[in-house]
Amino acid sequence: MVYDLEQKEVADEAWAVVKTSFPYIPGYLSFREGPAVLSAFRKICLIPDVVIFDGQGMAHPRGAGIASHIGVLLGIPSVGCAKTRLVGEYEEPGLLRGDRAELRYNGRVVGAVVRTRTGVKPLFISPGHLVTLEDSVRIVLEAAFRFRLPEPVRLAHKRATELRKRYESSRSSPKKYPSGGETI
């Protein structure tokens, strides 16, 4: 989903239905979800300035989560924005929107724990590709203007849920397939 932050609207979207060939294993998300992301990216008309991934960037056991891995393959600046911590230690940030704490792993800062709304659980932000930690935090805070999650991530989750339900219901009827840019 390509989201226009200035207009606060979806500017373009595409999706892909791809059979997963890799099991869910924490730390290997890009091997499971990467093929679908790359397939969907080939279908969009507007290339985004930056991609926010629901996953890790540098805050990863090998220093390269889905935001790093797929960001490199796409050649686009990318940010990891996860709901849970995969690695590292941190102190709880303050309770106000924008409060943050360093996320440290093996003696170095790999991300930030950031409160995107006052009084809600923080998100785990880390650079993926071609962005600094400061830019990553700024991008997420700019995009998380209504809810805890950045709007593009929140809307992508919503669309994926809708498409999954539609696809699963169409599988029971062989003549009905979802329409609109998917790969089956």
**177 within a domain of the structure (yes/no):** no
Residue 101 has pLDDT above 80, yes or no: yes
Residue 42 has pLDDT above 70, yes or no: yes
- Degrees, nearest 5: CA angle 95-100-103: 130
So what's the pLDDT on residue 142?
98
CATH number of 130's domain: 3.30.2170.10
**50 within a domain of the structure (yes/no):** yes
So what's the pLDDT on residue 106?
97
* Host domain of residue 113: 2-164
Residue 182 has pLDDT above 60, yes or no: no
Q: Looking at residues 12-28, what average pLDDT do you find?
A: 90
So what's the pLDDT on residue 173?
58
**178 within a domain of the structure (yes/no):** no
The number of folded domains in the chain is 1
**180 within a domain of the structure (yes/no):** no
So what's the pLDDT on residue 167?
82
The alpha carbon torsion through 45, 158, 18, 77 (nearest 10 deg) reads 50
**pTM to 2 decimal places:** 0.89
| pLDDT band with cut points at 50, 70 and 90 for residue 170 | confident
